[in-house]
Structure 1
Amino acid sequence: MPLDADLMIDRRRLKRRLSFWRFAAIAVLVIGLLLAFAQDFSFAPGSSHVARVWIDGVILDDTEMQDMLDDIREDDSVKAVILRIDSPGGTSTGSEALYEKVREVAEVKPVTAVLGTVAASGGYIAALSADHIVARGNTITGSIGVLFQWTQLTELFEMLGVEMKEVKSAPLKAEPSPFSEPSPEAIAATKAMIDASYDWFLGLVQERRGFDEATARKLGDGRVFTGFQALENGLIDAIGGEDTALAWLEESRGLEPGLPVEDWETLEPSYGFVGLSGRVFGEAFGEAATEAAQKTLQAEGLTLDGLMSLWHPDRR
C-alpha cells in the first residue's frame, strides 16, 4: 500500500508539471500570434501622425521597406513623412528602388529627410527622394558616384603555381575576372556601365537640387561634404535636426502643429513565427531560455553584388 501511495503522488506531480508546460506552450503560441499580427500592421496608429522611417546601414533592394512605404502612402492617418537617414549607401539598384518608392509617397504627402552621422552616396540618393533635406553641420554627405570593384588574384596564383582554366561563350563574359588580367575591351565595357549609372545619379542631383550639368559634375566628383559645406553648395536645405524638419513641414506644407511622430518599422528579417515566439519566450523566461527555444543561431552575412553607390573611408 505505501508503494501504491508513493506512485500516485508521483503521478500527480507529473500531471501538474505537464499541465504547467502545456499552459506555457499555449501562452507562448497566443502571445507570439498577437505579436506577429501587431508587427504585420506596424503599430496600427489610427490617429493622425507623422511617420518616421529609419534608413540606416547598407541600403539593399529591401522589399519589406518598399511594402511599408506603400502602406504609408495609402494610410490616411499619415500626414507627412520624415526619413531618418544614417547610411554610407549600398547597391545602386537598392538605392534606386528606395528612391522611386519614396517619390511615390511624396506624390500624395510631404516628405522631408533628416541626415544623421553619414548620408553619403546611396544614402544621399535616399535624401534626394525627399522634398526637403536637413542635416547636422558635421554630417558626412555627398560622395556622388558609382563604384565597381574586383580583386585581382593573378600574381598570387602565379606565386602558388595555380592557373584558372575556363571556357566561355564570348570574350566579355564574366569580365573583369579576378583570375586574369582584364582586356582593354573588358575595361571599356565596365567603364561604359559605370558611366551610365553615374549619369543617372547626376541626373537625380540636377533634377532634385536644381543644378545645371556643369555644377552637378563639379560637385559630383566623388568627394564627401560636411553638412555645412553641403548647405553652402546647395546639396541640402537646412542645418538642424528633426525639429527643423517638422518646422518646415508646418510652415511650408501646412502640417497641423503638434502632430505626434511615430516610428514605422519593418519586421526584423530573422523573425518568423518561431523567432517571434522565441523572442516572447525569452522576454518571459530569460536569455538562456531564448537560446534553448530557438535551438540554432544563424550567422548573418552581407554580400554586395552589382554596382555600388557606397562611401567608406579608405583604411590603410
Structure 2
Amino acid sequence: MSIDADQIVERRRLRRKVTFWRTLGILAAVAAVAVGVATVLGRTIPASSPHVARVMIGGLIRNDRERVEMLEEIGRSRASAVILSIDSPGGTVTGSEQLYDALRRLAQKKPVVAVVEGVAASGAYIAALGADHIVARRNALVGSVGVIYQYPNFTELMKTLGVAMEDIKSSPLKASPNPFSPTTPEARAAVDSLVKDSYAWFKGLVSERRKISDPRLAEVSDGRVFTGHQGLDLQLVDELGDERTARAWLAKEKGVPPTLKVRNWRSGQVGDEFGWLLGAARGVVSALGFPQAAALFGDTARSALERSQLDGLLALWHPRSDG
C-alpha cells in the first residue's frame, strides 16, 4: 500500500510539472502569434502604395545599421511623407549622429516631420533636428543639449581590498582615464577636450537647424530640458500638438493628402536578440504568482541591457534618482 501511495504522489507531481510547462509553452506561442498579428496589421499597406511612413524612435539610441537601411528603403518607397514618433532620452553621440545623417538624407527625398510624444532629449533631440518640422506635445520634454562622458573609478575600493593594478604604458595618456587609478589632470583635460568638441558640434547643429542666435543658444544649450510649451518660445520646436497636427502641416505645407493611410515601418531594436529570454523569465515569475514583480523585472532587465551596450561619449538625459 505504501509503494502504491508513493507512486500515486510521484505521478501527480509529474503531471503538475508537465501541465506547467505545457501551459508556459502555450502562452509563449500565443504571445508570438499576437506579436506577429500586430506586426502584420501595422504593415498591411504595401511599400509600393502611396502612404505616410511612421517611424518610431524610442529607447536608447546607438549605432543601428538596420535602422539606417530601413530609412533608405523608405526613401525608395512610395511614401509621400515621414512622421517620426519620438520618445527617447537619447544615447550615444555617434549613434545619434548616424541617425541624424540618415534622416537628413531621407528629408532630401520626402518631407519629414517629428512628433515628440514624451521625451526628445539629448541624442533624441539630435534626431528631431533631422526633421523639417518639429511638433511636440505641450508637456513633452525637449532639449538637454549637451554631452557627457562617464566612467567608474574603483580606486578607493581597490585600496580597501588591498589590491593594486599595475600597468606599463607607451605614453602617459594611453588607456586614460583608468578606473583602477586616480584620474590625472592630464587625462581629465584630454577627456574634457573630447566632450567640448562634441558639445560644440551639437550646439552648432541646434544653431543651424533651428536658426537660433548666440544669446538664446547659450540659454537652450546649458543641459536643461524644457517642456514643449517652453521649447516653442525658445525656438526648439515649431508647433504644439500631436500626430494630427503633423498631418495638418504636411497637408498645408507639402501637399500630402490627409486621406493617405499610415504605414508603420520597423527595424530591430536594442536587446531584441535577448527579448525571448526576458519574456520567458518574466512569464515564469508571473506564473509563480508575482505579476508586479514580473513587470518590474522585465523593465529593469531591459533597461540594464540597453545601458550596458552604451559606450563612449553620450548625448543622454536621465533624471537624478537621488533627489
- TM-score, with structure 2 as normaliser: 0.75
For the pair 1:60 / 2:66, whether they are aligned, the reply is no
Pairs aligned (count): 259
Q: Report the secondary structure of 1:225's partner residue.
A: strand
Correspondence list, 1:232-311, <5 A: 232-267=233-268, 301-302=305-306, 303-311=309-317
Q: Equivalents in 1 of 2:270, 2:152: separation in Å?
A: 30
Gaps of at least 5 residues in structure 2 are 1-28, 277-282, 285-300
Partner of 2:75: 73
Which 10-residue stretch deviates more, 81-90 or 250-259? 250-259
- Conserved in 1, the CA contact under 8 Å of 2:55 and 2:264? yes
How much has 1:269 moved relative to structure 2? 7.0
Counterpart pick for 2:319 among 309, 313, 316: 313
How much has 1:56 moved relative to structure 2? 0.2
Q: How many percent of aligned residue pairs carry the same amino acid?
A: 49
Q: Report the secondary structure of 1:216's partner residue.
A: helix
- Conserved in 1, the CA contact under 8 Å of 2:67 and 2:268? no
Q: Report the secondary structure of 1:57's partner residue.
A: strand
Amino acid at match of 2:318: H
Amino acid at match of 1:143: S
How much has 1:261 moved relative to structure 2? 1.2
Give 1 or 2 for the bigger CA radius of gyration.
1
Q: Equivalents in 2 of 1:240, 1:161: separation in Å?
A: 58
The runs of at least 4 aligned residues of structure 1 exceeding 4 Å deviation read 267-272
How much has 1:255 moved relative to structure 2? 1.1
Q: Equivalents in 2 of 1:74, 1:66: separation in Å?
A: 13
Question: Structure 1 pair 267/161, CA: closer, same or farther in 2 (3 Å)?
Answer: closer
RMSD: 2.5
Q: Report the secondary structure of 2:117's partner residue.
A: strand
Question: Structure 1 pair 180/270, CA: closer, same or farther in 2 (3 Å)?
Answer: closer
Partner of 1:187: 188
Gaps of at least 5 residues in structure 1 are 1-27, 276-286, 289-298
Partner of 2:13: none
- TM-score, with structure 1 as normaliser: 0.76
Amino acid at match of 1:158: K
How much has 1:214 moved relative to structure 2? 3.2
Q: Equivalents in 1 of 2:162, 2:122: separation in Å?
A: 40
Partner of 1:216: 217
Which 10-residue stretch deviates more, 205-214 or 260-269? 260-269
Question: Structure 1 pair 212/95, CA: closer, same or farther in 2 (3 Å)?
Answer: same
Question: Structure 1 pair 184/270, CA: closer, same or farther in 2 (3 Å)?
Answer: closer
Partner of 2:91: 90
Q: Report the secondary structure of 1:58's partner residue.
A: strand
Question: Structure 1 pair 156/268, CA: closer, same or farther in 2 (3 Å)?
Answer: closer
For the pair 1:152 / 2:158, whether they are aligned, the reply is no
Q: Equivalents in 2 of 1:174, 1:116: separation in Å?
A: 40
Amino acid at match of 1:48: P
Q: Equivalents in 2 of 1:197, 1:270: separation in Å?
A: 27
- Conserved in 1, the CA contact under 8 Å of 2:60 and 2:90? yes
Question: Structure 1 pair 270/122, CA: closer, same or farther in 2 (3 Å)?
Answer: closer
Q: Report the secondary structure of 2:61's partner residue.
A: coil
Q: Equivalents in 2 of 1:314, 1:188: separation in Å?
A: 25
Amino acid at match of 1:159: T
